[in-house]
Structure 1
Amino acid sequence: MVSLVFPYTRKAFIDLCRCARKEMSKQDGGPKRKRSLLPCVGVGVLEGDGEGSLLPPQPPQPRRSQRQQQRYKKPAEEEACVVLSNSTSHNESGQRKCGHAFCRLCLDQAFKVKRACPVCRQVYGQLIGNQPTTGCMMVERDPDLELPGHEGYGCICIIYSFPPGLQAPEHPNPGVRYPGTDRVAYLPDSPEGNRVLGLLRRAFEQRLIFTIGTSMTTGMHNVITWNDIHHKTSLWGGPHCFGYPDPTYLVRVTEELREKGITAD
């Protein structure tokens, strides 16, 4: 309930406020400074220049410093989906281990293609490919054969062998025949080369080295092809001939394996 304020009471209150401002200015010993009016018991505080309604005093609002504002971050439940740029709180999926946040719909669609973060491609879980299950991987070593750029080390020879067969339901054309193939690849018999060899073994076990599709070199369809993990199929000739020397090859193939979830950890 709002109390009635008579004109003479209102005038007396305004005069009292003016006197108070004059006294405060004298005590400060400087020019007049704008101050907010103190609440008066039983009367209230006038808005603006004293011509508005009487309102109860407002509590002081805490102010955040500029440095605090810069350090302020949204809580995790309000992180924006990096695909749709909206909040993930309604279709909750939240942040992945890599730090990228997605809504459930976007993440489900992405994982249907590959169980990896669509932004940084970090793999979640164990990735299994569709390499034919009938193949084998054999390893031989020649201590007297040195690869260009890796002098002082022997050579690791990797032999992949696949017999002909029929495409499975996971392949592009189930029931269609594919021809057999044999592939040979080379690594230096060095600590780095043996580390890559161990990663390639795991990739082969997870059926990630090969797939069935269209050959990039011959254009033939329904054949066994490499699956984005590059191999050196020649001893010499450099990168243009898929051979050595190639100073960054071991680093590149390690990154390709990492993108499929194959790491040394």
Structure 2
Amino acid sequence: SESLSHGTRKAFIDLCRCARKEMIKLEGGPKRKRSVLPCVGVGVLEGGGEGSLLPPQLAQPRRSQRQQQRYKKPVDDEASATPYVHSHSDTDDRNSCSICMGEMVERTTLERCGHQFCRLCLDQAFKVKRACPVCRLVYGQITGNQPGTGSMIVERDPDLELPGHEGYGCICIIYSFPPGLQAPEHPNPGVRYPGTDRVAYLPDSPEGNRVLGMLRRAFEQRLIFTIGTSMTTGMHNVITWNDIHHKTSIWGGPRCFGYPDPTYLVRVTEELREKGITTD
């Protein structure tokens, strides 16, 4: 009837108003218009429920959660990975041997410098050179393989001044080696090597005499020369310098292995100290 039709229409309008009020409460105000009228009164199912008058509201929260997880996950991974990397590095520093790069076996600590190594690794390193493989601090006395038949003669010339050391005379060091056969510690045992004579120069100053004393000790420990290949002539099985630089010329500067060279005495002192030779 007409009255029934009018009542139904009024109920429908009231339902629409209620639905819109609920929409305004959920979204914070009438900012957006949503197409909810077709859904009202037709039994929209929401998550398995019946008779709901509101559109689905779980889709947007689900997208928001996925977005939060997508942006949050790298941060969580980084936070968890960073301590793990640092911890792993710290563990390596404490437990790994810097010689074999493996885990410490029979950890051995050097008395003076405190560096630690595997016992076997340190024993093998000390057979080559009795010095810490990390800081190169020498333990005990190093003995080289310089031929044992040589001599070191020192002469002084008070009238000869070296450039850069005016006011002092000159110290002449004469190294002399006769020919001989290579010993077991040499590259080719039993092979003959020729003799040689070398002359080096130092200023006859307090600093020059200090270096001279260190060179004497190095010569006695057979560290000044070795047997190998000459860097200047390319000849094999000859007596050569062994990484302790000498000035073999009076003039010409560093390029000619001569003077002036303001830093030479400091450099050669450091080279001698690296081999365990001190001024004490």
TM-score bucket of the superposed structures, by smaller chain: 0.5 to 0.7
Answer yes or no: is the 8 Å Cα contact 1:80–1:101 preserved in 2: no
What TM-score results when the alignment is normalised by the length of structure 2? 0.64
**In 1, Cα distance between equivalents of 2:194 and 2:230:** 12
Greater Cα shift, 113-122 or 90-99? 90-99
* Counterpart for residue 158 of structure 2: 143
* Counterpart for residue 203 of structure 1: 218
CA apart distance, 1:99: 2.6
* Counterpart for residue 123 of structure 2: 108
Q: Tell me the percent identity.
A: 84
Write the mapping of 1:100-179 to structure 2, written as runs, cut at 5 A: 100-179=115-194
CA apart distance, 1:79: 6.5
Residues 24-71 of structure 1 deviation map (CA, whole Å, 9 limit, x = unaligned): xxxxxxxxxxxxxxxxxxxxxxxxxxxxxxxxxxxxxxxxxxxxxxxx
Residues 130-153 of structure 1 deviation map (CA, whole Å, 9 limit, x = unaligned): 111110000000001000000100
Q: Give the aligned residue type for 2:98.
A: V
Answer yes or no: is the 8 Å Cα contact 1:79–1:94 preserved in 2: no
Answer yes or no: is the 8 Å Cα contact 2:107–2:116 preserved in 1: no
Confirm or deny that 1:235 pairs with 2:246.
Answer: no
Write the mapping of 1:1-265 to structure 2, written as runs, cut at 5 A: 81-83=97-99, 88=104, 90-265=105-280
Segments of 5+ residues of structure 2 without an aligned counterpart are: 1-89
Q: How many residues align structurally? A: 188
**In 2, Cα distance between equivalents of 1:259 and 1:115:** 11
SS of corresponding position for 2:165: coil
What TM-score results when the alignment is normalised by the length of structure 1? 0.67
CA apart distance, 1:115: 1.2
Runs (4+) of structure 1 exceeding 3 A deviation are 78-88
Say if 1:122 and 1:151 are closer, same or farther in 2 by CA, change over 3 A: same
Residues 232-264 of structure 1 deviation map (CA, whole Å, 9 limit, x = unaligned): 000000000000000000000001101111011
